[in-house]
Amino acid sequence: MTNVGIIGGTGYTGSELSRILCTHPDVTLTALTSRQNAGKKVTDVHTFLKGYSDISFIENISDAKDLDFVFVATPHGVAMNEVPALMDAGIKVVDLSGDYRLHDVSAYEKWYGHKHTDLENLSKAVYGLPELFRDKIKGADIVANPGCYATSAILACAPLMKSGVVDEDVIIDAKSGTSGAGMVPSPRLHHPTCGESIIPYSIGTHRHIPEIEMAVDMFSISHSKVTFVPHLIPIIRGILSSCYFTLKEDLDNAEIEQIYEKQYSKEFFVHYVKEPSIRAVVGSNHAHVGSQVIGNKVVAFGVLDNLVKGASGQAVQCMNLMLGLKEIAGINQPGLGV
């Protein structure tokens, strides 16, 4: 069994990782960090883990022994201070923050607002979207887990951009549930503000913009310009990204569907469907993609659970690949449906 630890065990992604890993057939969850809750039983904080874990929170991951793998589920700016020691100790890492996603240091410092202090490991980090970069993830020592919005959009955009049938520019209209904002309360997340509303935010400034552009440039024929507008909607989990392209040639819906089927027909977690549904994928590592031709335009859809395929589930999928385990191990569950 592989001994696994989580840095940042009380946030939404850390707690979701705990939920998934405590029943994973090939790993043992042996350490979770929390400065505020150090010494407390994990199940006193995460009561949903009653009967599945008997460990206590620790303050620092260095206090744990015999770890083989660590997930870093912290805000950006923290991971780069934790990862070097882990890598020096020969521990494989998946970082769920944004610290290792952008290989362009100037882009990171522009969008995240502070200096990157771990350029050595930044250069080694592999972008962790298995359906597109599986071979690079296998055997990697450090993987940068993609953002939730980015995963939804990239899965929708990739087949069309790889095929060269659309113009380079894309407009992405994305909607996410409130859990995507994390646990820290804010006026925007106050229920009377968001409970019966749809709120656009971070227009032109969202940190997933350079990430989407970077990933798309890895497989598109030419550089793409992304116009990204995220919205907060009054659900807890889930993302729907609607991506608008101009077609370079006359294609019908059947021809577009063939492009998606060529990309994803052999994938376990990504499915082309006529009507992508958030409820169909919530609680699972599955994602829906779809498309619709409208004249000389095509709209591509990407749908997922922001805490699973958009974060913790995908991180476990990457871990499985990095360790040579069965890729679907521990995350082989369908969506809730209702």
Reported pTM: 0.95
CB contact set of 44 (below 8 Å; sequence gap of 6+) = 37
Q: How many Å apart are CA 23 and CA 49, to the nearest integer?
A: 10
Q: Are 221 and 116 in the same domain? A: no
Q: Are 134 and 20 in the same domain? A: yes
Q: Is residue 335 part of a domain?
A: no
Q: Is residue 294 part of a domain?
A: yes
Q: Are 110 and 219 in the same domain? A: no
Domain that holds residue 115: 2-145+309-323
Q: Is residue 332 part of a domain?
A: no
Q: How many Å apart are CA 177 and CA 194, to the nearest integer?
A: 10
Predicted pLDDT at 192: 80
Nearest to 155 by CA among 30, 264, 80: 264
Structure-block tokens of residue 275: 């009507």
Looking at the DSSP bridge assignments, the partners of residue 303 are: 240, 288
Q: Are 23 and 120 in the same domain? A: yes
Q: Is residue 93 part of a domain?
A: yes
CB contact set of 252 (below 8 Å; sequence gap of 6+) = 293
Q: Are 246 and 192 in the same domain? A: yes
Q: Are 185 and 266 in the same domain? A: yes
Q: Are 313 and 220 in the same domain? A: no
Q: Are 189 and 313 in the same domain? A: no
Give the CATH number for residue 52.
3.40.50.720
Q: Are 164 and 177 in the same domain? A: yes
HEC string for the chain: CEEEEEECCCCHHHHHHHHHHCCCCCEEEEEEECCCCCCCEHHHHCHHHCCCCCCECECCHHHCCCCCEEEECCCCCCHHHHHHHHHHCCCEEEECCCCCCCCCHHHHHHHHCCCCCCHHHHHHCEECCHHHHHHHHCCCCEEECCCHHHHHHHHHHHHHHHHCCECCCEEEEEEECHHHHCCCCCHHHCHHHHCCCCEECCCCCCCHHHHHHHHHHHHCCCCCCEEEEEEECCCCCCEEEEEEEEECCCCCHHHHHHHHHHHHCCCCCEEECCCCCHHHHCCCCCEEEEEEEECCEEEEEEEECCCHHHHHHHHHHHHHHHHCCCCCCCCCCCCCCC
Segment-wise mean pLDDT, segments of 10 residues, the chain, 338 residues: 96 96 97 94 95 95 95 94 96 97 93 93 97 96 97 96 93 92 71 82 90 85 86 94 97 98 98 96 98 98 98 98 98 95
Nearest 5 degrees, angle CA 133-CA 134-CA 138? Answer: 125
Predicted pLDDT at 183: 64
Active-site residue identified among 22, 148, 157, 243: 148
Q: Are 183 and 121 in the same domain? A: no
Give the CATH number for residue 225.
3.30.360.10
Q: CB neighbours (10 Å) of residue 294? A: 10
Q: Is residue 337 part of a domain?
A: no
Q: Is residue 179 part of a domain?
A: yes
Q: What is the dihedral of CA 263, 265, 268, 269, to 10 degrees?
A: 60
Q: Is residue 213 part of a domain?
A: yes
Nearest to 204 by CA among 114, 289, 110: 110
Q: Is residue 338 part of a domain?
A: no
**Count of the separate structural domains present in the chain:** 2
Q: Are 163 and 119 in the same domain? A: no
Q: Is residue 107 within 8 Å of 132, Cβ to Cβ?
A: no
Q: Are 152 and 299 in the same domain? A: yes
Instruction: For residue 148, indicate whether it is catalytic.
Output: yes
